[in-house]
Amino acid sequence: MSNRYCRSWCSDRKPDATGVLVPADPAVTHLEFPEGRIAYRLLGDTGPPVVLLHGGGLDNSTLTWGRLARELAVGHRVHSPDLPKHGGSWPWRALADQRALEDLVPRLLDHWGLRSATLIGLSLGATTAIGAALRHPQRVDRLVLTSSGGIQDRVPGAGRHELAWLALRTPLSRLITRSQTAATLARHVRGFPFADDVPAQERERLVAGIVAEHRAKRDGHMFSDWNRVEIGFRRMRTDHRPELHRIACPTLVLHGAADAVVPVRYAREAASLIPGARLVVVEGASHSAPMDHPTQVGAAVREFLDQTRDAAPGA
Residue spans of the domains in the chain: they are 21-311
Topology of domain 21-311 in CATH is Rossmann fold (3.40.50)
Residue among 209, 237, 252, 243 nearest 118 (CA)? 252
pTM for the whole thing?
0.89
Q: How do strand 140-146 and strand 251-256 relate by DSSP bridges? A: parallel
Q: What single-letter amino acid sits at 299?
A: A
Q: What is the pLDDT of residues 12-46, one digit of tens each?
A: 444 444 333 344 457 899 999 999 999 999 999 99
Identify whether the C-beta of residue 263 lies closer than 8 Å to the C-beta of residue 281: no
H-type alpha helices, the chain: 61-72, 98-112, 124-135, 160-168, 172-179, 182-190, 200-217, 225-230, 264-273, 289-292, 294-307
Are 290 and 195 in contact by the 8 Å Cβ rule? The answer is: no
Contact call for residues 174 and 218 (beta carbons, < 8 A) = no
* Helix, strand, coil fractions of the chain, as percent rounded to 5: 40, 20, 40
Which residues of the chain carry a pLDDT beneath 50?
1-24
The type of residue at 187 is R
Q: Which of 274, 282, 267 is nearest to 251 (CA)?
A: 274
CB distance 53 to 128 below 8 Å = yes
What's 97's DSSP letter?
Answer: -
What pLDDT sits at residue 13?
Answer: 41
CB contact at 8 A, 257 and 281: yes
Burial class of 18 by CB neighbour count within 10 A (0 to 12, 13 to 18, 19+): exposed
Percent of the chain with pLDDT over 70: 90
- Count of positions (residues) in the chain: 315
Q: Are 222 and 180 in contact (CB under 8 A)?
A: yes
